[in-house]
Amino acid sequence: MSQQGERPAAHEDDWWRRLYDETAADAGSTNAADSLDDRFDSAADAVGQAGRGGPGGDDGDSGPEAAVPDPRTPPAPPVRARAPWEPPAEAERAPWEPPSGAAQPRDLAAPPAPASPPVEAPPPTPPPGAERPGTVDGPPPAPAAPPPVPAPPPVPALPPPEHVPPLPRRPVAERAEEAPEEPAPAGATDSGSGAAPAGPAPAAPGPTSRPGLMYVGDRPPTYDAEPTALPATTPQELDGLVADTVLDGARYGTYTLRAASVRGDSARFRGEPRRDALLTVRFGAAENALVLVAVASGARAAEGAHLAAADACRWIGGAVGRSHARLAEDIRAGRRADLKSGLQRLTDRSYGRLRARAAELGLEPHDYTAGLRCLLLSADPDCRTRVFFGVGGGGLFRLRDGVWRDLEPDVPASGAVTGEPVVGFGSASPESGPHGDRLTMDLGITTPPSPYIESPPPPPAEPFRFRASVARPGDTLLLCSTGLAEPLRGEPALADELAERWTPPEPPGLAAFLADTQLRVKGYADDRTSVGVWEA
């Protein structure tokens, strides 16, 4: 027994000894029949009825067409029909077709491969157990070859684009007519005729209603249309910087407001700051609201002209804001006399603060001043009274029925004397003349200057301007600084162009209004500030 208590297994060579045991007796011959017919019958029973009981002969006899398989050759597998979706076997290929997987010679400059026929979707797979097409008796029929697919027609090469010369710059007043339609290229036919259809011709850009920065007049302006240099400044003067362009707008009641202030071409070229200042502000709410638009222009060649213009706008805005309720009531009631006296007092106080600021800076009053022009607009839809007031140069225009009218109030010329002379002021002494008692005047003796005059007299003050008008539907009111008022008065082409652009039915947008304000004219390169009011 083994260590585990089991019996030892039999020796591994016992089966060999039992098979080749020399002491075992020979089996010898047997009495069973072992003729050739017995072996044939046994083989025929193994392969079926091909050898006996078949169509070739009677029972026990083989027919003349019965084939006896070689017992040493394994039987051939049964022939199965090939389904249409299965690829053909290697034996079914044509003699001229290369065997699958054989390497094909390739040329370096091989011609392009022909267009492959469209891939057809395979037929649906039959369900399990369904009989597949084909019979066992013979090979399946060869699948029908797909019809040849014609190659697509060659795509004609597109002709190179024609060279279009650039359009010459010319005045805006000469409007370009619409370009006629380009004729179809020769040889282009419909798609049904068999020829390749011609591609659509590129659409020519039509004339734009509002071109970019252009000019009017016979010659282009001297300076570039875009900014060139920035103003120089120091870290301590950052609060006094002004932008190159200011744009604003609003809509209240029956009017639409557009306002823009742009640095002039000469200031852009020299790197000087914009001397014009623009303020658009609203006081109050609803129908009692009052809109103020202030435009100020600093003195030319003054160092702090842009600061003086900004101070003038800020201080007049504060003065109007503190009295906006009374001013809005006077505008709706049409009290012209009260409005003129009240606005003149507010303007005088603002200029008084400018003179005080000039004294603080150690400057002369005429070195720190600005021209001021303002518009007061009521937000009440039933009120169409527009009030203008201010001091200094500029322009006030009205566009009605396509015609401009200058609404600048008439003021006496500087130094002009009107009315009868007053004794002691502007009149000669009663003692002079041929009938007077003073004979020194008749003798031609000049009077020496007075020793009490220490400085030249100050220049005469600018007169106060005021105008109140009632707007009509379709009117356009334009308030502008000197930089736009002078070319409007001196260049008729500019007035005609702006009249064409700003005529109703609808006011321009902010970008279009800015482009219109920058319409340039030869010889006018100052800052431009314009305020447009379109009446519905």
Q: Could you report how far apart the first and last alpha carbons of the chain are, in Å?
A: 126
Residue range 238-265: mean pLDDT, rounded = 93
Which pLDDT band holds residue 422 (cuts at 50, 70, 90)? Answer: very low
Find how far residue 418's CA is from the centre of its chain.
Answer: 60
The pLDDT, as a whole number, for residue 36 is 79
> In which band, very low, low, confident or very high, does the pLDDT at 120 lie, cut at 50, 70 and 90?
low
Q: Hey, which of 34-43, 45-54, 125-134, 502-511 has the most confident mean pLDDT?
A: 502-511
In angstroms, rounded to a whole number, what is the distance separating the alpha carbons of residues 11 and 4? 18
Instruction: Give the list of residues 6+ apart from residue 158 with CB closer than 8 angstroms, or none.
Output: 199
174-200 average pLDDT score: 43
Classified as helix, coil or strand, 481 is coil
pLDDT more than 70, % of the chain: 54
Q: pLDDT at position 311, please?
A: 95
Q: Hey, what amino acid is at 485?
A: A
**Mean pLDDT of the region 229-251:** 89
Checking if the pLDDT of 109 tops 90, the result is no
Q: What is the pLDDT of residue 8?
A: 57
Q: What is the pLDDT of residue 35?
A: 74
| Interval 144-152 mean pLDDT | 60
Q: Please give the pLDDT value at position 125.
A: 56
pLDDT reading at 449 higher than 80: no
Residues in a beta bridge with 531: 259, 479
Q: How far is residue 169's CA from residue 237's CA, in Å, rounded to a whole number?
A: 41
Q: What pLDDT is attached to residue 475? A: 94
Q: What is the DSSP letter of 235?
A: G
Q: What is the pLDDT of residue 296?
A: 96
* pLDDT on residue 231: 87
Identify whether the C-beta of residue 524 lies closer than 8 Å to the C-beta of residue 486: yes
Tell me if the domain spanning 243-407+465-535 has CATH number 3.60.40.10: yes
Q: Which residues does residue 208 pair with via DSSP β-bridges, in sequence order?
A: none
More confident site: 505 or 426: 505
Mean pLDDT of 249-269: 94
Q: Please write the tens of the pLDDT for every residue from 347-405.
A: 999 999 999 999 999 999 889 999 999 999 999 999 999 999 999 999 999 999 999 99
Residue 363 class from Cβ within 10 Å (0-12 exposed, 13-18 middle, 19+ buried)? Answer: middle
* Count of CB atoms situated within 10 Å of the CB of 358: 18
338 or 212: which carries more pLDDT confidence? 338
| Token pair listed for 292 | 């103020």
- Is-above-0.95 flag for pTM? no
CB 282 within 8 A of CB 290: yes
Whether 113 has a pLDDT exceeding 90, the answer reads: no
Q: Note the pLDDT of residue 67.
A: 54
* pLDDT attached to residue 156: 55
Contacts with 94 (C-beta within 8 Å, 6 or more apart), sequence order: none
Per cent of the chain over pLDDT 90 is 39
For 259, phi and psi rounded to 5 degrees? -140, 135
